[in-house]
Amino acid sequence: MLISEDLTCRELVELVTEYLEGALAPADRDRFEQHLILCDGCAFYLDQMRTTIAVAGSMTEQSITPEAQESLVRVFSDWKGN
């Protein structure tokens, strides 16, 4: 890329979210990806960001406590009774 078109690492880290959302304009996406080819540092950063998102996504504890279950079943019975 011409220097004037150049993406620095500092600029790239500000564009990471837009890139992952698919919101970068095609020309900017190209610059982003061309930089990734050259720059291991930014490739590692993008991977760190993806990992962060993955860890956040793994935190969905799905269970309901027995107490909550009990009290809500009572809510249900009351509702049904009416």
Partner 1 sequence: MRAYKCLRPGRVGPFSGHNWPIGEWVESDGAILCMQGIHACRTTDLPFWLTQELWEIDLEGQVRQERRKLVADRGRLVQRVEGWNGASALSFAEDCAARAKERAERATGVDAGLLRELAGDAAANAAKGEAALVGYIAARSAEVDRGADGYVEERLAQARWLAAELRLDNP
Partner 2 sequence: MAQVEAAEAELVEALRAGQESAFAALLREYHASILRVARLYVSSPATAEEVAQETWLAVLNGIGRFEGRSTLKTWIFRILTNIARTRGQRDARSVPFSSLGEGASESAVDPERFAPVGERWAGHWKSYPERWDTLPEERLLGTETRAHVQRAIDRLPLTQRQVITLRDVEGWEPEEVCSALEISETNQRVLLHRARSKVRQALEGYLGN
**Among 1, 5, 33, 76, interactor with partner 2 by CB under 8 A:** 76
d(CA 40, CA 42): 5
Of residues 1 and 44, the one with the C-beta less far from partner 2: 44
Distances (CA, A) of 53 to 5, 32, 45, 50, 73: 29, 20, 12, 5, 35
Restricted to residues 32-61, the positions that interact with partner 2 (CB under 8 A) are 39-42, 44-45, 47-49, 51-61
Shortest distance (Å) from residue 14 CB to partner 1: 18
Residues with Cβ within 8 Å of 42's Cβ and at least 6 positions away in sequence, in order, are 9, 12, 13, 35, 36
Restricted to residues 11-30, the positions that interact with partner 2 (CB under 8 A) are 11, 13-14, 16-18, 21, 23
Shortest distance (Å) from residue 73 CB to partner 1: 40
